[in-house]
Structure 1
Amino acid sequence: MKQKERQQVSAGSVRPRGATSARREEASLGGTPKVTAMEAMGCARSRRPLPALLLILLLPRAAGAAGAADARWSGQGTVPHLQSIFLGRCAEYIAVLSPELRDKNCTAIWEAFKLVLDKDPCSVLPSDYDLFINLSRHSIPRDKSLFWENGHLLVTSYAENGRRFTPLCNVLYGMVGDFLSWCRQKNASGLDYQSCPTSEDCENNPVDSYWKSASIQYAKDSSGVIYVMLNGSEPTGAYPVKGFFADFEIPHLQKDKITRIEIWVMHEIGGPNVESCGEGSVKILEERLEKMGFQYSCINDYTAATSTQREALSVYAERSASFVFPLLVALASVAQM
């Protein structure tokens, strides 16, 4: 189903979706500064993004630490406690979100996933996740698939954790790896906690290959009316012609299972109107779908999603403000250490 963020990269110029090189850029919800979701991939879990002030104050300290580490790769290292996080997410998904999946074995799913942790970090193929996908995949409700580019925050808010729609981050095989990074050390056994490769380092890195595999399966399992949310305020265009949606999802849509495709071009509140339906890259997408034989429609600023956009902006602003005082206290404490 990376918050990359959105730059052209090597290896076929596919825009990254992994945790280390960021799947897609967060859509700004209005007059507040853009906040990027931890360089996420795929679709990020529904969580509160860090306020811009927090990022601004903490990034210099983090950058200094990263420089001192002299990392081999350009991406974040393996997240600490990877196994515990993975198993916890899996158990939560089955117990809380989808009790009908009670027969899924989270331990077996983890064992299949961790096979890539024994491979060279630049030699992990999408097919290396086949067993993991086979054990964790499940049906996606008809008319509930939501594909997207450059609009993570709005997508997760509008999807309501799978209750309204089911984007990739709300299926089991997308949720367990969301916002995480992982890789083996280059010339040794054991995990690399210092850095992991991104598409800038090598094409076949663990996180990007994970999202390629997950994206392909998600597209294959989607049916009925398919929804696509694009950011019409994105400076580089609403529809990246080289990206996960273009390269790994559209080609695997099953025409005999799909009724039609509905495109929503959303524009940031207070932001620029770069592209709308029938314009620029959106027109390229429309022409591609038509050539493939899909029925489609396109709507600018879909009303229901726009309402969610305004609500999310209000909540974001309130929560951002609530961080300021605790943050200043924390920084003062650190300064005295």
Structure 2
Amino acid sequence: MADSRPKKAKICLCIFLCLLVAGVIAVVVGVRMWRHSSEHKKWNGTGSTAHFQEIALERCYNYTQLVQPELRDRDCQKIREAFRNAFISKDPCSATEEDYHPLLKLVKQTVPCDKTVFWSKTKELAHQYTKVQREMFTLEDTLLGYIADDLRWCGDAGSYEMNYQSCPHWKKDCSNNFVSVFWDLLSKRFAENACGVAQVVLNGSISNAFDRKSTFGRVEVHNLNPMKVHTLQAWVIHDLGKFPSDSCSGSSINDLRWIVMQRNIKFTCHDNYSSVKFLQCVKKPEDSSCR
């Protein structure tokens, strides 16, 4: 009977060599992936918000459980995952609306008629108003707006890591970055879904209270549906202690009036709308205009 030990030794040697080669390949691939994930492309904008995913999930739970509990059936884990999948491993300057469609399907929300509030260069004041008038909604009072408010996010093509060092600047790098496309898409949907009377809070302490280049001027006003929205109310608010630079009779508001009326929507305008003015005076009651 032939000795089988040399044959077994050869088999063991082959197995050892195969495992060694596989190990070397795994190390090389791992090193390349680590280098790729750690060497993000440098952009001119601020990097992704630290702990982005944790913040998004926490905000989703807070909104669906406390702010708008009628939406408690929304799956926050799936929403966070769909949000991340919209931009991760993709060129941060090649965003499209389609990238966010799976996310939007998970978050269907209806704002009641007459309760939509747009804003332009008056974010803080508009949010103060809807915080008091809780039945009113700015875009940031909707679930996705609430989750993403003031956050930044981007990745790199082929990388599963977020870029926390820098993200594309919408002017210096590209306008079709994932943050800009996200907000334009949400603003478009927010305007399309408005109905009844819509409101917009504008800043009368700057020369062009209505700016065609703003999100409201570029996106929202042009996506109001005349079959659903019958009136747009503009509230031109002047900052306390500052000289008024624009008003309901100013050229920029006349520009807005023309755009709205061309779309067969009624337009009204109020300087220093009393309910919003009251909020200013609560913070600065000593101002002469509050007496």
Identify the TM-score tier after normalising by the shorter chain. 0.7 to 0.9
CA contact (8 A) 1:227 1:262 kept: yes
Residue 273 of structure 1 aligns to a residue whose secondary structure is coil
Q: Please tell me whether residue 190 in structure 1 is matched to residue 182 in structure 2.
A: no
Question: Which residue of the partner structure matches residue 227 of structure 1?
Answer: 199
Is the partner of 1:256 in helix, strand or coil? coil
2:243 corresponds to 1:276: no
* Structure 1 counterpart of 2:94, one-letter code: S
The answer to whether residue 71 in structure 2 is matched with residue 105 in structure 1 is: no
Structure showing greater relative contact order (alpha-carbon pairs closer than 8 Å, 6 or more residues apart): 1
1:114 alignment partner, one of 62, 79, 84: 84
TM-superposition CA deviations, 1:169-228 (whole Å, max 9, x none): 000011111110010036744111011112121011111011011101111111111001
TM-superposed CA distance for 1:103, in Å, is: 1.6
Segment of structure 1 superposing worse, 178-187 or 240-249 = 178-187
Q: In the TM superposition, what are the counterparts of 1:1-337 in structure 2 within 5 Å?
A: 72-115=42-85, 116-160=87-131, 163-185=134-156, 188-200=159-171, 201-235=173-207, 237-313=208-284
- TM-score norm. by structure 2 comes to 0.80
> Aligned with 1:132: secondary structure?
helix
The TM-score normalised by the length of structure 1 is 0.69
Q: Percent identity?
A: 33
Change in CA separation of 1:94 and 1:296 when aligned onto 2, cut-off 3 Å: same
Which letter does structure 1 place at the counterpart of 2:182?
Y
C-alpha displacement at 1:136, in angstroms? Answer: 1.2
Q: Which amino acid aligns with 1:86?
A: A
Structure-2 separation of matches of 1:127 and 1:111: 16
Counterpart of 1:118 in 2: which secondary structure?
coil
Q: Using the alignment, how far apart are the partners of 2:206 and 2:97 within structure 1? A: 29
User: By how many angstroms is 1:164 displaced?
Assistant: 4.3
Residues 286-335 of structure 1 deviation map (CA, whole Å, 9 limit, x = unaligned): 11101111011000010110010122447xxxxxxxxxxxxxxxxxxxxx
Residue in 2 that maps onto 1:39: none
Structure 2 contact 89–157 (Cα < 8 Å) conserved: no
Q: Distance in 2 between matches of 1:272 and 1:112?
A: 46
Answer yes or no: is the 8 Å Cα contact 2:60–2:76 preserved in 1: yes
For structure 1, list consecutive stretches of 5 or more residues without a partner in the other structure.
1-69, 315-337
Q: Secondary structure at the match of 1:159?
A: helix
Say which structure is richer in helix: 2
Native 8 Å contact 1:161 1:170 kept in 2: no
**What runs of 5+ residues in structure 2 fail to find an aligned partner?**
1-39, 286-291
Structural RMSD (CA):
1.8
Distance in 2 (alpha carbons) for counterparts of 1:189 and 1:94: 28
